[in-house]
Amino acid sequence: MFKTTEQSAIFAQPMGADGIQFWSLVEHEVCWPWFYLQIVQEDGDKAFRSMLMLASTTELAAIASARTESAWLEKVYIATPGDVNGTKDWKLEPLQNVEVVRDQSDTIVSARFGIQGGKVHSIGDNNPLPGWSRQLCFCADSHLGPVDVNR
């Protein structure tokens, strides 16, 4: 989750029909991994790139599966605190895949983050009990780039 204050608003009122609000800063409330996505949106012969910050694997999975011929993920990074990445500092690394473990009530109890180069970071209990399930939320090999309609 990210939070901010009204004083951080760049404009006094939301902009456009979508009600988009621009902020000069946001606070990440917990020392938890977050995702930094580079998104491409094509409009004719022009490509527009923007960055998106997400705080959950559920949001990442939804965006990864929503790609089209004209809008897609180009790059995905994970930012991890030192206690997750094994250092004393936050790190921003290219993400290869994300797998979550869900218990019988469909609650996420752990996550494994595969980093380019083979390193893995994890949070929670990665030893599933009977009845728990694993779910691949993101895979760079299949979720980056536009949808190929000729496949």
Inform me whether the pLDDT recorded for 139 exceeds 70. Answer: yes
- pLDDT tens string 12-51: 776 666 777 777 777 777 778 999 999 999 988 999 999 9
- pLDDT tens string 41-71: 998 899 999 999 998 999 999 999 988 888 9
- C-alpha–C-alpha distance, residues 38 and 40, integer Å: 7
Which residue type occupies 116?
A: Q
The answer to whether 122 and 110 are in contact (CB under 8 A) is: yes
Inform me whether the pLDDT recorded for 151 exceeds 70. Answer: no
CA angle 78, 37, 47 (to 5 degrees): 155
What pLDDT is stored for residue 74 in this prediction? Answer: 94
- C-alpha–C-alpha distance, residues 143 and 64, integer Å: 6
